Structure 1
Amino acid sequence: MFHLVKGLYNNWNKKEQYSILILGLDNAGKTTFLETLKKEYSLAFKALEKIQPTVGQNVATIPVDSKQILKFWDVGGQESLRSMWSEYYSLCHGIIFIVDSSDRERLDECSTTLQSVVMDEEIEGVPILMLANKQDRQDRMEVQDIKEVFNKIAEHISARDSRVLPISALTGEGVKDAIEWMIVRLERNKKSRPPIYK
């Protein structure tokens, strides 16, 4: 009887875990976004001034409510590391692509990189959230300018959920809104990309 009750209790209290890739060019603010996100959810986080360029990956598991856990994979954005991104595609439930809004010179590279991501068959149907980061800077591009990059590859996105949102990973502005958008899309996409139950 004890095992039956324990089994029912464990089944009732299972949490859905979704894996989200954080991608983007180097110096876009991916790790700063992740550390700010940890801070928003009252978890231990690295001081933002101590963040170094990511070589490999940073992983954080964040319980967002009593039923959902989000596991974030912040993967290095240097050109030499981007070929490794596809190793994560089959396991991800969502992609957050971060763009440095203050780096006009790399906008075409950003567009080409994002296009190569969305064209991979492994992520067909996966929601993609493009974040126009560094909106706190005076030299930033407006979100509308960033959206034009996204519009160039819209034909490759097909029917999946996608959006461009402004954020400042440094100040935290827009970070929680971005995650709330993603959570709704993960729920909506649950049948085609079921979560892992923990």
Structure 2
Amino acid sequence: MFHLARSVYKHWNLREQHDILILGLDGSGKTSFIESLKAFLSKPSKALSKIQPTIGQNVSFVSMDTHHIWKIIDVSGQKSFRYLWDSYFNKENVHAIAYVVDTSDPDRLQESVNELKARYTSNPSSVDIPIAIVLNKADQCLNISSFIDQFTELMLELDVKRSNVFQTTTNEPNDLQEPSEWLRIQLQENKDLIAPSYR
């Protein structure tokens, strides 16, 4: 009887874990986005001034509530590490993707579009993974509409089923309300297609 009670208690206290992959070119602000997201969700976070470029990958966990936890996987955007992206870019390994783009550097827009397109092209099942395109540093961009248009067209071209484009600034945490809420909704609505793990 004790074992049954313990098993029921353990099952009752398991939390849904959703793995969220954070990608983007080097310098796009991925880690700043993650730390700002943690701060927005009132979770412990690093000061933006202390953030270093990601080498390889970083993994962190964010407890959303008593029943849900996000595992956030931040993979380096440096060219020599981008081969790692393919290891995660399928629905067996992640439940959602946030693709961070530095809109203050228009010279790298095409490179950013091409890298994302290459991953979808080589991993066809990834069209089922919800993706938030995060146009970071939007306050420093002179032509934000070109970024919005390029990524909107890319999502249509690739037939991605669940995608959205968001504008954020690292200094304005409230900008993260919309993408974080959108991701939360997509993770719940997509559970039948990409089941969460439990911990």
TM-score by length of 1: 0.92
Q: Tell me the residue number matched to 2:184.
A: 183
1:129–1:182 contact (8 Å) kept in structure 2: yes
1:118–1:156 contact (8 Å) kept in structure 2: no
Distance 1:58 1:141 in 2: 32
Alpha-carbon offset, residue 177 of structure 1 = 2.0
SS at match of 1:44: coil
Alpha-carbon offset, residue 46 of structure 1 = 1.7
Distance 1:7 1:27 in 2: 46
- 1:109 pairs with 2:120: no
- Gaps in structure 1 of 5+ consecutive residues: none
1:129-140 maps to which residues of 2 (within 5 A)?
Answer: 129-137=132-140, 139-140=141-142
Q: Tell me the residue number matched to 2:42.
A: 42
Q: Tell me the residue number matched to 1:121.
A: 124
Pair 1:81–1:190, CA change in 2 (3 A): same
Pair 1:73–1:140, CA change in 2 (3 A): farther
SS at match of 1:62: strand
1:130–1:165 contact (8 Å) kept in structure 2: yes
AA aligned opposite 2:22: I
SS at match of 1:191: coil
AA aligned opposite 1:187: Q
Pair 1:124–1:56, CA change in 2 (3 A): same
Q: Tell me the residue number matched to 1:57.
A: 57
Q: Tell me the residue number matched to 1:69.
A: 69
SS at match of 1:99: strand
- 1:25 pairs with 2:25: yes
2:22–2:74 contact (8 Å) kept in structure 1: yes
1:55–1:76 contact (8 Å) kept in structure 2: yes
2:103–2:147 contact (8 Å) kept in structure 1: yes
Percent identical pairs in the alignment equals: 37
Q: Tell me the residue number matched to 1:145.
A: 146
Q: Deviations over 1:19-54 (max 9, x none)?
A: 010001111100001111222233322221111111
- Number of corresponding residues: 196
SS at match of 1:59: strand
AA aligned opposite 1:6: R
2:36–2:45 contact (8 Å) kept in structure 1: yes
Distance 2:85 2:102 in 1: 19
1:131–1:166 contact (8 Å) kept in structure 2: yes
1:132–1:164 contact (8 Å) kept in structure 2: yes
1:169–1:175 contact (8 Å) kept in structure 2: no
Answer with 181-190 or 36-45: which moved more.
Answer: 36-45
